[in-house]
Structure 1
Amino acid sequence: MIRKAFLITAKPGLSMEYQKRHNPIWPELEQTLKDHGVSNYSIFLHEATHSLFGYLEVADEELFLRIAETEVCQRWWKYMTEVLICEEGNAAKAQEDMLSEVFHLD
């Protein structure tokens, strides 16, 4: 299993809307994530900074990367640009910073 982590940031005042849009996530997106080997996926909010820390595990990196090619993922990313910080005003997805693992304990 490959562990992955990322940081994204909610726009000021939109953290609750971000949470609302995930509860529940679209069933077709959930199925797409599972079909692409994603499991143990969590997102945590740091309320003071609006930072969101995501953690997920993937079975296969190449399979995981193909999620970006799916229509539902592209639609979700665009939907979430309304509530997340983006690099550009008309970005197709939010600004996402991937994190490098520095410690792990089983």
Structure 2
Amino acid sequence: MARYCFQLHVRPERMAEYAERHRAVWPEMQAALRDTGWRNYSLFLREDGLLIGYVEADDLAAAQAAMAETEVNARWQAEMAQFFTGLDGRGPDEGFALLTEVFHLDDERASA
């Protein structure tokens, strides 16, 4: 399964509320993520608003497309968009920047 890492920027003045919302992610949103192929999904928030996400998926583009078809995702993204900067009119699920993986310990062990 492929690993993906991405970044977004949460408005510093909204970080506490953003974190609070993620302590109670709707069960139907969690189910939709699982059902559309998102695995081992985590979010990390730095004190200046930098948000790093990590997810594993067989195909991230397919998982994103499947999520985009769900009603619960449309509701969630509409509520979450207000927390971010730099989206240029896109939703958070469309506006994140993917990071390039340059090292993974288990990959190094497998090639040794």
How big is the shift at 1:3?
A: 0.5
Match of 1:55, as an amino acid?
Answer: Y
SS in 2 for 1:102: coil
Q: Which residue of 1 aligns with 2:58?
A: 59
Q: 1:35 to 1:54 in 2, by over 3 A?
A: same
1:73 aligns with 2:73: yes
TM-score when scaled to structure 2? 0.82
Q: How many residues align?
A: 103
Match of 1:28 in 2: 28
Gaps of 5+ in 2: 107-112
The structure with the largest alpha-carbon Rg is 2
Q: CA deviation at 1:62?
A: 5.2
The C-alpha deviation readout for 1:40-81, integer Å capped at 9, x for no partner, is: 11111111x210000011134454132122111121111101
Q: Percent sequence identity over matched residues?
A: 39
CA distance 1:92–1:62, change in 2 (3 Å): closer
Q: Is 1:11 aligned to 2:17, yes or no?
A: no
CA distance in 2, matches of 1:60, 1:7: 18
Task: Name stretches of at least 5 consecutive residues in structure 1 with no aligned partner.
Answer: none
